[in-house]
Amino acid sequence: MTGFLKGSATAMITPFYNDGGVNFDAFGEMIEYQLANGTDTLVVLGTTGEPATMTKEEKEALMRCAVKKTAGRAKLIFGTGANNTQKAVDATVLAERLGADGILAVTPYYNKCTQNGLYEYYKAICAATSLPVICYNVPSRTGVNILPETMERIAQIENIAGIKEASGNMAQVLDTARRIRGKCDLYSGEDPLNLPILCAGGTAVISVVSNPAPKQVKALVTAVEHGDLAEANAINDRLFPLIKACFCEVNPIPAKAGMRMLGFAAGDPRPPLTPLEAEHAAQMRAALTAAGLEVKA
């Protein structure tokens, strides 16, 4: 299927209190910040949301909170992928019941299934839901790469909406785009490559840097949509130091620090992730300022 996701989507961080609990009030404030600055879609419990360190109960509560706070003003996509197919299916069923508009399913991590195993994984998830399903390819984290020929096969599944590409390999991205064009859509899942992936036919970005900079990321997408590549390049040039800062340590460590600097109660990431190191904090503050954002803390 095509046409499900367009524009700017933010891979939302999950704010935690110092005692470790989820800060739902801060999460609501971040949703308002995103919507006020033009974000089209909120992605909850993707990698940036730290679901690997959250309990099943916390994840369900966060989904419920997102549905209530968003109140239909933007699309909601919930991350349900796992290294256990049945667990991914169960999470997908729950997400649909709670009000998701779509599903983001990362490839099975650690188990490192075959390419045929990837097809069967997405086939099982899609069979469990009527919602659009987005494949998430991030081999640097999972150890599994959705090859272009495999994505071409997966794209034949009726409710596959597209692929969030974060392989970092533009040659692969272009091959995948060629194979799935007209069958499902291509989304950028890697902020440094947002501009070239959009120019290659990507219909949306699923962005980390849009946590602190939603207005700027939306402007980048809009410029490409309008065919104004000079403006798109100018926006990308201004934004690139912040993109680099958001990945100076493992995501979402820098993004959470950046949100705290903007005055949001983002909290620290959960262990084994650690707070942003001092030298990188200086880099983040400078990058936020360069992007036109007001540093408050």
CA 16 to chain centre: 19
Which position among 33, 119, 121, 136 bears the catalytic label? Answer: 136
Annotated catalytic, 109?
no
Which position among 164, 215, 218, 256 bears the catalytic label? Answer: 164
Rounded distance, CA 111 to CA 143, Å? 9
User: Which secondary structure element, helix H or strand E, spans residue 123, and what is its range?
Assistant: helix 115-127
Rounded distance, CA 120 to CA 115, Å? 9
Annotated catalytic, 136?
yes
Residue 44: strand, helix, or coil: strand
Q: Answer yes or no: are the C-beta atoms of 66 and 44 closer than 8 Å.
A: yes
Read off φ and ψ for residue 262, nearest 5 degrees.
Answer: -85, 0
Longest dimension (CA), the chain: 50
Output the CA torsion sign for 228, 230, 234, 239. Answer: positive
Q: Which residues are catalytic?
A: 136, 164
